[in-house]
Every structure is written in structure tokens, then in C-alpha cells.
Structure 1
Amino acid sequence: MQNSITVQNLKCCGCANTIKNKISEIDTVSDIKIDIDNSIISFSTKSNEDLLKVHDKLKAIGYPSIDDENSFASKAKSFISCATGKISS
């Protein structure tokens, strides 16, 4: 099933690299596309449980959905994730 999540704190290719790498760790997620300009992560999953796993993973690395609180901790995590993504690209 095709899904998309609009996230906060997505600013650049470094962020996108980290998001793609981390979401790819979930075996049942495929066809990941990231629209940096609109902060939309699109992907395919096999179940709603997989969608929740992606949602939780994004929040854990600092990219909460627009429906979640964007705390100082989330912003700090996204800054680190962005830097990591820039280094690994």
C-alpha cells in the first residue's frame, strides 16, 4: 500500500539521505521517495503496522509528522541527522 507522511524539520539532501537510510532499515518498506520542497516522505508498506513503524522511526530521528509536537529535542535530533546524512552522501 502506498503511503505518505508530511514531516517537520526536513531541509536538505542531508536530511533526505538520513531519512531514506533509516526507513530502509525496515524490511517491509520500499519505493521511498522524498520531496524536500514539500517535506513529504512517500513509500510503500505491506500493512498499517509498517506505517506506524515508519512514523515512529521518523519521530525518533527528529522528523516528526506535522501532526506531532516539534519539540526542541526533535529539532536537535534532526540537526544531527542532517549532518550525518551530509557526511554519508
Structure 2
Amino acid sequence: MKTEEIKIANLKCGGCATTIKKELFELDGVKEVKVDNDNDSVTVMYKEGIREAITQRLHDLGYPEATEKNGLLLKLKSYSSCMIGKINNL
């Protein structure tokens, strides 16, 4: 198992955190997910060999790694993911 902190863009609130946790736990091999809104990061414990799947899932949700280009489309995706997370928190 490996634990890694991944810096991401577009992280705004608890709704974002809820969506990120739910989606990453759906990946086979992810054992733990912690979202830190203050540091714009996600700490993930996972099996070796699935890092790319984790970062791709984050990207697809609108939360690219901080080193990636962050265009308007990704920002819009993150707002959708955030809203879904807020609804799931109700």
C-alpha cells in the first residue's frame, strides 16, 4: 500500500470533498481518502499501480492535479461535482 498527498485545483468545500471521497472509493484498490480543503489536497492510500486511475478520476470530476492545465471546462465540471456532493450531504 502507498499513501500519497495529491495537490489538486478547484477544491472549494465539503460538497467537493463528499464527491471526491465517494468517487475514489469506487476505484478498486483505494483504501483511504482524506480531503483537506485548506491545503487543496487529497491524501489517498492505495494499491501500487493505480495512481493514474486516481488522477484520471479526479480530472474527470473537475479536480485536476495542481500541475495540470486548469481550463474553464474543468472548473465547470468541479462546480457540478460540488453541487452533487452538497446534495448527497443533505
Compute the TM-score of the two structures, normalised by the length of structure 1. Answer: 0.95
CA contact (8 A) 2:3 2:44 kept: yes
How far did 1:46 drift? 1.1
Task: Write the mapping of 1:5-84 to structure 2, written as runs, cut at 5 A.
Answer: 5-47=6-48, 49-84=49-84
- Calculate percent identity across the aligned residue pairs: 36
- Considering only aligned residues, what root-mean-square deviation do their CA atoms show, in Å? 0.7
Compute the TM-score of the two structures, normalised by the length of structure 2. Answer: 0.94
Query: Partners in 1 of 2:31 and 2:12 — Cα distance?
Result: 22
One-letter identity of the residue aligned with 1:50: I
The C-alpha deviation readout for 1:26-83, integer Å capped at 9, x for no partner, is: 0200111111111110011111x21111000000000000110101000000000000
Query: Partners in 2 of 1:20 and 1:4 — Cα distance?
Result: 14
Query: Partners in 1 of 2:25 and 2:70 — Cα distance?
Result: 23
Give the count of matched residue pairs: 88
Instruction: Could you tell me which runs of 5 or more consecutive residues in structure 1 were left unpaired when the two chains were aligned.
Output: none
Instruction: Could you tell me which runs of 5 or more consecutive residues in structure 2 were left unpaired when the two chains were aligned.
Output: none
How far did 1:13 drift? 0.1
